[in-house]
Structure 1
Amino acid sequence: MLSSPHVTEKATGLSEKNKYVFKVFKPATKPEIAKAVGSLYKVEVIDVKIINIPKKKRRSGRRLEGWRKGYKKAIVRIKEGQSIEVLPR
């Protein structure tokens, strides 16, 4: 269900509030994501919010046009006092 951690400046700021952002596969549902994060990182998931990012048109040069793929991301809130080590320091 989880594709990869979504590491951005905003996602790093959310981690201070016990919220972590992951890219997930399109057919994934909230209960499946909560179960996957809970079992993979050994934490208790409180809430999952899902955001569908649409595909966007991109251009290279004057004529060559294409599409950047859309994706789905999940913001997972975990129990107070627990944490997830997304990137090893």
Structure 2
Amino acid sequence: MQDSLLHWVGLAKAQAGDFEGAIAIGNAHPDFANREGLLVLAVGAAAEQGHFERAFSIAEGIPSESGHWVNALGWIALAQMKNGDIQGAFETAGQVG
């Protein structure tokens, strides 16, 4: 129950533009994989709102060998495509090794 509640509160904060609050909720999560998952939610919300620099900086907090990092870059690339930046989306996707 607590895990689910943390996810919903983190997502709500991220969608409201409170990225620092979402990151704090993620960092407070007792399970490391869920912490990364909450960071992905913050990345996605930041990217969807057009805050691409912030999205990339949040993504830097996720280890690059993690599947969550790939998901975070996917959210950024998707938002870039929706925003008409196809070249940026390809460059973002190219960061996945």
- Fold match, TM over 0.5? no
Larger radius of gyration: 1
Larger proportion of helix: 2
Q: Classify the TM-score, shorter chain.
A: under 0.3
Larger proportion of strand: 1
TM-score (ref. length: structure 1): 0.26
